[in-house]
């Protein structure tokens, strides 16, 4: 017995029309059934564009469309929603010719993906200075455990793309300029309904990676390095840095 499901899915996924007559009556059903294949490819492409807007902007429409078609062929959606489609797109992109030419594109994809993961991540109420003062005044002291918000993402970057990414996300996109190799990290987190982000110093990256992995502020603090410049925006002491964490909505009181 011929499988009508296979006949149509082969056409939608690969454009193979030979099985369509097991599904549809009439001659040349592929002329109209192309609606389904085009709809599938368009839905996947739109999902990728929604998740990776900076990559789409940097590549340009024509190139991004080609890349999406190739990606969809390699990694079709597995979940019954496209909201999270493309989780492995940055890794896949790192093997593509366009990325070998402009390797910063992969970092843009990592940042785009982390931004959406952060936006859709868990809602949590960060510890506030007021709450902390109340605890101290009531004799409770610091919460037993403090951790980063579960929606926080520490993103490893291989190229100096963070400022470019921010500009594109803020609608200030100009021509995409290939970037220089420069290892760094970025932090994305969402204290309320807006995703915040900033680039991290080397020690801060170690601090946040440790904090995220261990949920231990004490262990993370071992990576603290006081600022050695005269930049007054940087905290000088660990206590000042702790205050900065609270001010930024980066501390969640554990159970």
Partner 1 sequence: MSAPEPQPVFRDEVAAGVSLKPQHFEQAMASRAHEIWFEVHPENYLMQGGPRRRGLRQIAADRDISFHGVGASLGGPDLPDTDHLKAIRQLVDDIKPVRLSEHAVWSSIDHTYLAELLPLPRTQSVLSNLVAGVDAYQSAMGRTILIENPTNYLTVHSDMDEADFLLDVSDRTGCGLLLDINNLYLSAHNIGIDPKAYIDALPPGKVGEIHIAGFDADPQFGNRLLIDTHASAVADPVWSLLDYALAHLGPKPILIERDANLPEFSTLEQEVLRAQRMLDRLREPDHA
Rounded CA gap, 135 and 138, in Å? 5
Q: Which stretch binds partner 1 (CB under 8 A): 2-10, 53-61, 105-113, 225-233?
A: 2-10
| Contacts for 169 with CB less than 8 Å, ≥ 6 apart | 53, 54, 115
**Which CB sits closer to partner 1, 39 or 178?**
39
For Cα atoms 126, 127, 130, give the angle at the middle one, nearest 5 degrees. Answer: 130
Q: Which stretch binds partner 1 (CB under 8 A): 23-31, 87-95, 170-178, 229-237?
A: 23-31
Count of residues of this chain found to bind partner 1 when the rule CB under 8 A is applied = 39
Closest approach, Cβ 38 to partner 1, in A, equals 9
The answer to the question of residue 88 lying near partner 1 (CB under 8 A) is: no
Per the CB < 8 A criterion, the answer to whether 105 and 55 are in contact is yes
User: If you write DSSP's letter for every residue of 171-188 in order, what string do you get?
Assistant: T------PPPEEEEEEEE
- For partner 1, the binding residue among 77, 166, 206, 212 (CB under 8 A) is 77
Best CA proximity match to 57, nearest among 159, 198, 165: 165
- For partner 1, the binding residue among 16, 19, 24, 160 (CB under 8 A) is 24
Rounded CA gap, 149 and 126, in Å? 7
- For partner 1, the binding residue among 15, 60, 76, 254 (CB under 8 A) is 76
Q: Which residues bind partner 1 (CB under 8 A)?
A: 3-6, 8-9, 12-13, 22-26, 29, 32-33, 35-36, 39-40, 43-44, 76-84, 119-123, 151, 190, 193
């Amino acid at each position: 017995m011929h499988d009508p499901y296979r006949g149509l899915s082969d056409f939608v996924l690969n454009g193979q029309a030979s099985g369509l007559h097991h599904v549809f009556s009439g001659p040349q059903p592929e002329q109209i059934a192309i609606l389904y294949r085009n709809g599938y490819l368009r839905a996947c492409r739109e999902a990728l564009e929604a998740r990776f807007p900076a990559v789409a902007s940097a590549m340009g429409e024509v190139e991004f469309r080609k890349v999406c078609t190739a990606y969809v062929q390699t990694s079709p959606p597995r979940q019954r929603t496209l909201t999270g489609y493309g989780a492995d797109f940055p890794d896949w992109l790192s093997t593509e010719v366009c990325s070998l030419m402009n390797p910063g594109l992969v970092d843009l994809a990592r940042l785009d993906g982390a931004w959406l993961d952060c936006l859709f991540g868990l809602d949590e109420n960060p510890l506030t200075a007021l709450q902390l003062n109340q605890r101290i005044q009531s004799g409770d002291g610091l919460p037993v455990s403090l951790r980063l918000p579960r929606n926080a993402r520490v993103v490893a970057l291989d190229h100096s793309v963070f400022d470019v990414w921010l500009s594109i996300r803020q609608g200030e996109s100009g021509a995409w300029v290939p970037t220089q190799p420069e290892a760094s990290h970025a932090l994305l987190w969402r204290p309320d309904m807006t995703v915040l982000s900033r680039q991290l110093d080397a020690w801060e990256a170690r601090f946040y990676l440790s904090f995220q992995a261990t949920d231990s502020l004490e262990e993370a603090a071992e990576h603290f390095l006081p600022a050695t410049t005269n930049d007054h925006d940087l905290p000088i002491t660990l206590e000042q840095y702790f205050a900065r964490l609270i001010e930024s909505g980066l501390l969640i009181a554990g159970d």
